[in-house]
Amino acid sequence: MTAPATLDSTPDTSATDDGGRGNGRRLGLVAGAVAVVLALLLGYAGGLLTPRLTRPGDDSVEAGFARDMTAHHAQAVEMGLMAFQRATDPEVRSMGGDIATGQQGEIGTMQTWLRSWGLDPTGSQPRMAWMADGAGLVKNGLMPGMATPEEMAKLRDAQGREFDLLFLTMMINHHLGGIHMIDGVLDESDEPDVVRTAQIMKNTQQTDLTNLTNAKKRLGG
């Protein structure tokens, strides 16, 4: 209230004084505003980039697991669909369908991870390289528990009860190998969604193992 009065009383000096100081302050304000905008932009860019830079990379455990478990699952789908179509025993038939659809669904989940991480479905590392001592477990390009081309041909040719028992034996081996790989990712990854999904895979396959083993006993295998 009193300030305007004093300004009026000394017009010349105070005006020039205030003008000079006002320019300086305006410059300061502009610099401050620019600084704030720059800081916000940097923060925004950092926020955008952080998930990109921290997500699993091309040679990560998670990407290796997603790619290799996709290939491993694909063979279980192949065997499961054959059982669904050709098994004689109703329980073997339904387990085949359950395993095939379940694992095909999980393939979709794992492939979606890779896509969201900006990675190709194909890696540049050898199979199982993501797992400690994993590369040594690959035999003729096949990961633990996977059936050889000869075993798959034998399953295609098998009929009746022989088919059912062969399927059960092969799927039990397949699940045992699969659980070994799942344990590998559970040991080495702390990516929440990967760990959670891997744990669910393990639960499912362990339950399957019990039922597959019981069915095999029931059918006299």
| Contact positions vs other proteins (CB under 8 A) | 6, 35, 38, 42, 45-46, 49, 52-53, 58, 70-71, 74-75, 77-78, 81-82, 104, 107-108, 111, 118, 120-124, 127, 138, 140-143, 146, 149, 152-153, 156-157
d(CA 107, CA 37): 44
Closest to 168 in 3D by CA, of 78, 98, 79, 69: 79
At its nearest, how many Å lie between other proteins and the CB of residue 28? Answer: 10
Task: Return the number of the residue (21 or 218) whose C-beta is nearest other proteins.
Answer: 21
Task: Return the number of the residue (146 or 215) whose C-beta is nearest other proteins.
Answer: 146
Helix axes 160-188, 61-86, angle to 10 degrees: 160
At its nearest, how many Å lie between other proteins and the CB of residue 88? Answer: 18
At its nearest, how many Å lie between other proteins and the CB of residue 37? Answer: 12
- Please return the burial class of 11, using the count of CB atoms within 10 Å of its CB with bins 0-12, 13-18 and 19+: exposed
At its nearest, how many Å lie between other proteins and the CB of residue 108? Answer: 5
| Residue showing tokens 């098994």 | 87
